[in-house]
Amino acid sequence: MTPLTCECGLLLDPDGSCYRCKATGDPLADDKMPPPQTAGETSDVGSQPTGRTLRLTPASEIRPRPVRWAWDGRVPTGAVTLIPGREGIGKSLTLVWMTAQITRGKLPGLHYGTPRAVFYAATEDSWQRTIVPRLIAAGADLSRVYRVDVATEVGRIDALSLPRDCREVERAITDYDIALMCIDPLMSTIGTGIDTHRDRELRGALEPLVSLADRTGCAVVGLAHFNKSSGTDPLNLVSGSRAFTAVIRAAIGIARDPDADDGSCVMTQIKNNLGKLDVPSLRYVVEGAAIPTDEGPADVGVLRFLGDSDRSVYDILRDHNDRDDTDRSERDDAAEWLRPWLIDQGGEAARRDVFKSGRAEGFSEATLKRARPRAGVTTERRGFGGGSVWRVDLHRTWPPSGSHSDRLAQTTGAEPNEPNESRMRGLVT
């Protein structure tokens, strides 16, 4: 049986030849494996030939190499990194931002000061209406960004499929000297017929991608969605099999901070097998931008980092779960205080002022949020990314007898006017 890889490490062509070795006449010296010590060609369960040969390589013959980072301490080169999170919080914009930084040589890490090219495979967004306008807004060098599709034998253009297209991807990464490959989302590139909820099947699709990254030195970054379950460990919330989080070497979780007045989100290193896990969490906001086109302006979102965050994704998930257990009687007491206090302020106040005065009365921020609908208080966000204002209608009696709002207030503490997925769709993904 023809082996899958050449001595130099590249995947073989269908005819059993190596693309790189045919071009150079010899495998790369640095990547040569020492001659294997053959230990037989029979299986361990019988004497029938298996077509497989055991390779035994002394560790003393393997050249050690340091871990290098495309993004210092967060995204390693030669490995796969996952960025999971809920919808509508800027995961795709994070990839766009990273792409822009790499193409301009501005991302702190191995390629800082040296602009490099990026492969970008995306299936959920339009390149004309969304991805290219976002790249422009982020300041990317578009000449260094390559859209990745696959042309079939019948002339059809298909999306990337793993592991089927790994050989072509590896060849192109080598030819174009690619530093970063973005996959949005990673799940969409898994070949049809592969059950992404079965660990063994999914590993079979992802491990060739991991090997590809290792051989080429390219940093591969894929997006993933959180499932609908609750929990405090973001790795356990990733949709699909556990293989998604087991095979990758690094992961950056993203979550919106409901306690932030500016609607900001937090990103935290939630896995880092190749480096430190205690790198600082980062906080960012999504701002609007209008990109001129021949057909008029294209409105998109652009990421703006605010600096380090003292709250992590773990904190946000833990607080979300704990909030469900807030004592109802304490919520009702807060509601009785909240409405009269807002009336005394003229009917409205900034959310931060509400929290400050509420804390002075012994109410936590979580309790005040649950009390808000109970007290008939609405919210309004002033400006894209601006602060939230809490308001009561001075001309309306509250609560209206038997109203749906009164019943709803007993069961939820959500703020309906905070940024949500439907309102942000098109600007944030």
User: Who wins on pLDDT, 361 or 76?
Assistant: 76
**Least trusted range by pLDDT, from 125-134, 210-219, 243-252, 308-317:** 308-317
CA nearest neighbour of 274 among 347, 354, 210: 210
Amino acid in the structure at residue 275: G
Q: Are residues 25 and 95 in the same domain?
A: no
Q: Are residues 60 and 86 in the same domain?
A: no
Q: Where is mean pLDDT largest: 8-12, 68-72, 162-166, 412-416?
A: 68-72
Is pLDDT at 277 greater than 70 in this prediction?
A: yes
Yes or no: say if 71 and 284 are a contact pair by the CB < 8 Å rule: no
Q: What would the mean pLDDT of 160-167 be, rounded to a whole number?
A: 93
Alpha helix segments (H runs only) across 2-129: 19-24, 91-104
Residue range of the domain that includes 417 = 327-423
Side-by-side strand order, sheet with 80-85: 145-147, 117-122, 178-184, 219-225, 80-85, 250-256, 265-272, 281-291, 298-309
Q: Are residues 253 and 314 in the same domain?
A: yes
Residue 428 domain flag: no
Q: What would the mean pLDDT of 51-56 be, rounded to a whole number?
A: 89
Predicted TM-score (pTM) above 0.85: no
pLDDT at 244: 87
Q: Are residues 313 and 192 in the same domain?
A: yes
Q: pLDDT tier at 250 (50, 70, 90 boundaries)?
A: very high
Q: pLDDT tier at 407 (50, 70, 90 boundaries)?
A: very low
Yes or no: say if 154 and 125 are a contact pair by the CB < 8 Å rule: no
Q: Are residues 44 and 77 in the same domain?
A: no
DSSP state of 400: P
Is pLDDT at 346 greater than 70 in this prediction?
A: yes
Q: pLDDT tier at 72 (50, 70, 90 boundaries)?
A: very high
Yes or no: say if 196 and 190 are a contact pair by the CB < 8 Å rule: yes
Q: What would the mean pLDDT of 54-67 be, rounded to a whole number?
A: 94
Q: What would the mean pLDDT of 60-89 be, rounded to a whole number?
A: 96
Tokens of 237: 């919330």
Q: Are residues 267 and 357 in the same domain?
A: no
151 membership: H or E segment, kind and range:
strand 150-151
Residue 226 domain flag: yes
**Number of independent structural domains in the chain:** 3
pLDDT at 6: 63
Q: Are residues 303 and 403 in the same domain?
A: no
